[in-house]
């Protein structure tokens, strides 16, 4: 049993002081007034202590990407993001061919319990997307829904697939959606030109998440003068739709991030990094050309070489926290969008809060929002 004391406890949208956290065997036993606890205590030095940050959408970091499908890549990415406050990660794989997906899933199955971060499962970002919305995805690999392909993957690897993104307009009969959700896998809308009818049909079928809102997500279009809602407007109209926000300070300007949070609320917004290989180690001006979609690090973000769009971010979880606070969020609200809300999206019922019965998994940071390495 351990007693954690002298920390500002951030949980459930609040900051609590004057309480100790009692933990045992990996679980939180209770929160108790400091004056009432007796025994040897671990002093947190007045720093903030939050539930462990949960990263829903991350391709890589530390010079590696999960799509490399090697134990070294998995371990190095996890080590990098662990140092920046992440405690749970869903390794994200861009649109790719069948064989690469299989290699990634096999690697995940073999090493996911031997990494610095907890890996509940893999996030497949594609490949069933709208070509015109491929963005940083490889246009030559984005393709229509292939029932034979996805059914084979689901039959062999549903134990390590946690989430699968797709474009709902490519799945008019919801066949893909039904197959995915039947395996307990989260389906999400991404890289899509969907209109409201497509989004609503998928939402009613169980697709309750929009991937990186405003990045490769459709907006209002006109057909013979009549306006049709896109994914952006649909996400606001559907109260129970969750959205991801890349809070790296580049993909979404602060005022847009502020608007998303204002309209959707902290209980429907998940902050993500969408980090690529340079996450946590990026150098300004560095080019990455040995990958399907080459990019350059410029202005603190990964850009396509022609500068026509962003290729992904180089952020880490501590950057998300700082960006949200810069956008006007309280520390407690920023933490909620990195812990409690992602936990709800992914069905992690024992994570995301500091409360009795929850996992004793924490991120500690100081008043300047810098991660503090505390061995708990």
C-alpha span between 238 and 170 (Å, rounded): 21
Cα 350 to chain centroid distance, Å, stands at: 18
Q: Taking the model in full, what pTM does it have?
A: 0.96
Residues 94 and 136: beta-carbon distance below 8 Å: yes
**Of 54, 52, 78, nearest in space to 65 by CA:** 78
Beta strand pairing call for 60-61 and 64-65: antiparallel
Domains assigned to the chain: 1-51+352-376 (2.30.40.10), 53-351 (3.20.20.140)
C-alpha span between 341 and 347 (Å, rounded): 10
Give the helix/strand (H/E) hosting 176.
helix 175-182
Alpha helix ranges (H) inside 183-330: 196-204, 231-237, 254-264, 317-326
C-alpha span between 150 and 37 (Å, rounded): 54
**DSSP single-letter state for residue 117:** S
Contacts 24+ apart (CB under 8 A), 365-371: 365/47, 365/48, 365/50, 365/85, 365/318, 365/321, 366/47, 366/48, 367/47, 367/48, 369/318, 369/321, 369/322, 369/325, 369/331, 370/318, 371/83, 371/84, 371/85, 371/318
Nearby residues of 116 by Cβ (< 8 Å), 6 or more positions away: 75, 78, 79, 82
C-alpha span between 122 and 126 (Å, rounded): 12
- The sign of the dihedral angle between the CA atoms of 242, 264, 234, 317 is negative
C-alpha span between 248 and 320 (Å, rounded): 6
Give the helix/strand (H/E) hosting 88.
strand 86-93
Q: What is the pLDDT along the chain (376 residues), one digit of tens a residue?
A: 999 999 999 999 999 999 999 999 999 999 999 999 999 999 999 999 999 999 999 999 999 999 999 999 999 999 999 999 999 999 999 999 999 999 999 999 999 999 999 999 999 999 999 999 988 777 789 999 999 999 999 999 999 999 999 999 999 999 999 999 999 999 999 999 999 999 999 999 999 999 999 999 999 999 999 999 999 999 999 999 999 999 999 999 999 999 999 999 999 999 999 999 999 999 999 999 888 788 999 999 999 899 988 888 999 999 999 999 999 999 999 999 999 999 999 999 999 999 999 999 999 999 999 999 998 8
C-alpha span between 84 and 370 (Å, rounded): 8
**Of 6, 14, 1, nearest in space to 330 by CA:** 14
C-alpha span between 297 and 285 (Å, rounded): 5
């Amino acid at each position: 049993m351990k007693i954690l004391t002298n920390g500002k406890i951030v949980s459930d949208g609040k900051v609590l002081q004057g309480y100790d956290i009692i933990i045992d065997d990996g679980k939180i036993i209770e929160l108790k007034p400091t004056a009432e606890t007796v025994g040897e205590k671990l002093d947190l030095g007045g720093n903030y202590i939050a539930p462990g940050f949960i990263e829903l959408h991350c391709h890589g970091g530390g010079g590696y990407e999960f799509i490399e499908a090697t134990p070294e890549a998995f371990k190095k990415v996890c080590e990098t993001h662990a140092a920046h406050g992440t405690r749970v990660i869903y390794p994200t794989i861009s649109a790719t061919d069948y064989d690469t997906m299989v290699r990634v899933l096999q690697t995940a199955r073999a090493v996911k319990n031997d990494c610095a971060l907890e890996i509940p499962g893999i996030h497949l970002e594609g490949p069933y997307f709208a070509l015109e919305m491929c963005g940083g995805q490889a246009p030559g690999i984005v393709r229509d829904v292939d029932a034979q392909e996805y059914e084979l993957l689901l039959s062999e690897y549903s134990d390590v697939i946690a989430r699968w993104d797709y474009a709902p307009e490519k799945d008019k009969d919801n066949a893909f959606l039904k197959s995915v959700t039947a395996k307990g896998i989260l389906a999400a809308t991404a890289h899509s030109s969907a209109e409201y009818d497509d989004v609503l049909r998928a939402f009613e079928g169980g697709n309750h998440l929009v991937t990186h809102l405003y990045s490769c997500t459709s907006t209002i279009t006109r057909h013979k003068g009549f306006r049709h809602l896109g994914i952006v407007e649909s996400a606001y109209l559907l109260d129970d739709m969750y959205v991801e926000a890349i809070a790296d300070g580049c993909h979404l300007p602060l005022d847009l991030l502020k608007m998303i949070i204002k309209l959707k609320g902290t209980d429907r917004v998940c902050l993500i990094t969408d980090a690529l290989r340079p996450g946590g180690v990026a150098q300004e001006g560095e080019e990455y050309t040995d990958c399907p979609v080459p990019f350059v690090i410029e202005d603190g973000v990964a850009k396509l070489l022609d500068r026509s769009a962003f290729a992904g971010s180089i952020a880490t979880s501590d950057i998300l926290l700082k960006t949200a606070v810069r956008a006007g969020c309280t520390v407690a609200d920023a933490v909620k969008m990195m812990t409690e809300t992602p936990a709800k999206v992914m069905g992690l019922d024992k994570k995301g809060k500091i409360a009795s019965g929850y996992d004793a998994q924490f991120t500690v940071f100081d008043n300047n929002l810098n991660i503090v390495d505390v061995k708990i």
